[in-house]
């Protein structure tokens, strides 16, 4: 049989006498802790739905926004010997202030009257150009006179030729007339002989006819001789016409040859003048480069060349200058994986070296000691460190960057992206996904336009 305890014995049993029960026993304090734990769990659960700003960090440094405002090195355009310094490191200089004076070290430019002597050569060549120009003008006038005289002489020779032609024509007519007269006289003489033989005319008449016949023979010979003389004169006139033309052509060709020679010498002299003027300008510019001048307002930061009497080469760096008027910008470098997330206009929070800050990367509104910026430009190719350079300027909607900041100060940038719930950010981090890239508003508007 079972031994069943009495009820009163159970009620009088003191369980607190057992240590393990005392440890596991739930009391008032345990209930309070449980409530606190449940409350914290509920608060943490609610925090999962709080907004979280996605971000990525990048290191960089401060620099000037414009290339001409960044620190630059002043080089020597010509080789020379340092004679005198006019500034020291840390001095402020204005644009055009003299920094350094160099003396010449090349023997080709050591003549103290180099510019004056070069100018004298230029003046002599200019006079030579003028002399050749006047010679060309004189030859042009000579050619013009020869052309006019040639035209007149040819006209005169043509007139003589025409006169000879007319004389030949006239003598030809006279010769034909003489031949007709000779034939008439010959027939008359023959009839007179027959009549004399028949006794019809006297000897006197026959002799008269014979004299007339002989006279006509003489005339025809004279007319033929005169015609030949006229033809010879015609040939002479033609030869004279050709000779006049050839003679003047030779004279004009010689004058034109002299003219072209003078023009060639003139052009060579002009080339020499241009070359000498170029040399003079180079000498003048070189003389101006003996003084190294400040290219813009700024501060002398570091001298690479020192001392007096030191020789420097062409293009050697002399010193560095920091422009006084510059607009600061931060150069930060991002991984190629983050490049699609960064675009112009993105917000950036900065932590500068030397400025303490309390940072909540996901809640930038609660951060203290950070400064705002806006992405100004993103490089299209990687830098030497295989990362993309991003230029960030101060955000005009927030407080300005500290005045003591200088170029070269280190900066850590926090690039801000979309606002998402905390639980989504935890899920993204656990899965190794990148921050959201697509613009939700743009996606919604695109889908709505497609549905329409």
Residues of the chain with CATH 2.40.50.100: 71-104+290-323
**pLDDT value of position 12:** 59
**pLDDT value of position 15:** 60
* Bridge partners of residue 84, in order along the sequence: 101
114-288: CATH topology is Helix Hairpins (1.10.287)
Report the Cα–Cα distance between both ends of the chain, in Å, rounded: 88
For 390-450, the DSSP string reads EEEEE-TTSPPPPTT--TT-EEEEEEEEEEEEHHHHHHHHHHTPPPP-S-HHHHHHHHHHH
**pLDDT value of position 431:** 72
**pLDDT value of position 444:** 39
CA separation (Å) from 213 to 181, 206, 222?
9, 10, 14
**pLDDT value of position 66:** 86
CB proximity list for 224: less than 8 A, separation 6 or greater: 175, 178
> What are the tokens at 229?
């003389």
**pLDDT value of position 392:** 92
Q: Would you state the CATH architecture of domain 49-68+326-451? A: Beta Barrel (2.40)
**pLDDT value of position 173:** 77
pLDDT, one tens digit per residue, over 336-351 is 877 877 888 888 888 8
DSSP state of 186: H
- Of 235, 237, 236, nearest to 158 by C-alpha is 237
pTM across the whole model: 0.55
- Of 373, 334, 314, 340, nearest to 80 by C-alpha is 314
Q: Residue ranges of the chain with pLDDT lower than 70?
A: 1-31, 52-55, 201, 206, 357-369, 417-419, 432-452
Spatial contact of 297 and 325, defined as CB atoms under 8 Å apart: yes
Tell me the Cα Rg of the chain: 61
Spatial contact of 73 and 319, defined as CB atoms under 8 Å apart: yes
pLDDT, one tens digit per residue, over 370-423 is 888 899 999 888 888 888 999 999 988 888 888 888 888 888 887 776 667 777
* Bridge partners of residue 266, in order along the sequence: none
**pLDDT value of position 446:** 41
CATH numeric code, 71-104+290-323? 2.40.50.100
- Of 34, 53, 32, 51, nearest to 42 by C-alpha is 34
- Of 62, 23, 123, 73, nearest to 352 by C-alpha is 62
Torsion angle defined by CA atoms of residues 254, 259, 261 and 262, in that order, rounded to the nearest 10 degrees: 140
**pLDDT value of position 366:** 54
DSSP state of 368: B
> What are the tokens at 419?
């606002």
Spatial contact of 349 and 364, defined as CB atoms under 8 Å apart: yes
**pLDDT value of position 393:** 92
Residues of the chain with CATH 1.10.287: 114-288
**pLDDT value of position 438:** 47
C-alpha neighbours within 13 Å on the C-beta side of residue 426: 10
- Give the CA angle between residues 370, 376, 380 to the nearest 5°: 125
C-alpha neighbours within 13 Å on the C-beta side of residue 208: 6
């Amino acid at each position: 049989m079972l031994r069943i305890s009495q009820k009163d014995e159970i009620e009088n049993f003191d369980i607190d006498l057992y240590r393990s029960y005392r440890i596991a026993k739930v009391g008032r304090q345990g209930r309070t802790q449980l409530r606190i734990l449940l409350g914290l769990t509920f608060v943490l659960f609610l925090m999962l739905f709080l907004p979280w700003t996605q971000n990525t960090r990048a290191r960089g440094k401060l620099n000037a926004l414009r290339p001409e405002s960044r620190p630059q090195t002043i080089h020597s355009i010509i080789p020379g010997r340092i004679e005198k310094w006019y500034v020291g490191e840390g001095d402020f200089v204005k644009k055009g202030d003299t920094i350094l004076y160099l003396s010449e070290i090349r023997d080709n430019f050591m003549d103290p009257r180099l510019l004056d002597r070069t100018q004298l050569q230029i003046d002599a060549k200019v006079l030579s150009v003028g002399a050749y120009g006047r010679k060309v003008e004189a030859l042009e006038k000579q050619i013009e006179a020869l052309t006019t005289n040639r035209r007149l002489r040819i006209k005169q020779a043509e007139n003589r030729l025409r006169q000879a032609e007319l004389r030949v024509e006239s003598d030809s007519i006279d010769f034909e007339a003489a031949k007709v007269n000779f034939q008439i006289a010959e027939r008359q003489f023959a009839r007179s002989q027959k009549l004399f033989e028949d006794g019809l005319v006297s000897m006197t008449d026959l002799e008269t006819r014979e004299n007339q016949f002989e006279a006509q023979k003489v005339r025809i010979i004279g007319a033929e001789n005169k015609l030949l003389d006229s033809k010879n004169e015609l040939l002479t006139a033609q030869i004279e016409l050709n000779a006049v033309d050839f003679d003047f052509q030779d004279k004009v060709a010689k004058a034109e040859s002299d003219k072209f020679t003078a023009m060639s010498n003139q052009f060579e002299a002009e080339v020499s003048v241009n070359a000498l003027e170029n040399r003079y300008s180079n000498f003048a510019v070189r003389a101006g480069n003996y003084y190294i001048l400040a290219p813009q307002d700024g501060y002398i930061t570091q001298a690479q060349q020192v001392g007096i009497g030191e020789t420097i080469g062409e293009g050697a760096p002399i010193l560095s200058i920091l422009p006084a008027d510059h607009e600061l910008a931060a150069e930060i470098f991002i991984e190629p994986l983050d490049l699609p997330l960064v675009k112009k206009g993105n917000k950036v929070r900065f932590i500068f070296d030397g400025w303490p800050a309390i940072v909540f990367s996901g809640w930038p509104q609660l951060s203290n000691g950070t400064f705002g910026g806006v992405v100004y430009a993103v490089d299209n190719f990687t830098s030497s460190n295989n990362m993309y350079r991003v230029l960030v300027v101060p955000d005009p909607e927030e407080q300005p960057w500290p005045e003591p900041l200088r170029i070269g100060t280190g900066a850590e940038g926090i690039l801000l992206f979309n606002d998402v719930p905390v639980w989504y950010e935890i899920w993204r981090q656990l899965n190794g996904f990148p921050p959201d890239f697509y613009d939700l508003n743009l996606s919604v508007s695109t889908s709505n336009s497609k549905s329409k």
